[in-house]
Amino acid sequence: MFKISILKPAAVGAAFMLALGVSAHAQTGTDIFNQTSPNTRFGWYVDFASTTIAGHFSQPVGTAAPINGLKYHFVQLNTQTGTNDAACYELTTTRPDFLPQAPVTDTRIWFANAAAGFADQSLNDDFNGTLFSAARFFLSGANAFVNLKVAAFSTAYNTGHFKIYVTRLPLAEASCTTNSGMAWVTYKNGVMTSHPQ
Q: What is the pLDDT of residues 35-87, one digit of tens each?
A: 556 667 788 888 888 666 665 666 777 767 678 888 899 999 988 655 667 88
**Is 129 part of a structural domain of the chain?**
yes
**Is 173 part of a structural domain of the chain?**
yes
**Is 55 part of a structural domain of the chain?**
yes
**Is 158 part of a structural domain of the chain?**
yes
Model confidence pLDDT, tens digit, residues 122-173: 999 999 889 999 999 999 988 889 999 999 999 999 999 999 999 999 999 9
Number of domains making up the chain: 1
**Is 166 part of a structural domain of the chain?**
yes
**Is 44 part of a structural domain of the chain?**
yes
pTM comes to 0.79
**Is 1 part of a structural domain of the chain?**
no
Q: CB within 8 A of 134, min separation 6: which ones? A: 90, 91, 92, 93, 109, 124, 127, 128, 182, 183
Closest CA to 115 of 66, 14, 185: 185
Closest CA to 86 of 127, 39, 141: 141
Residue span of the structural domain in which 36 resides: 14-195
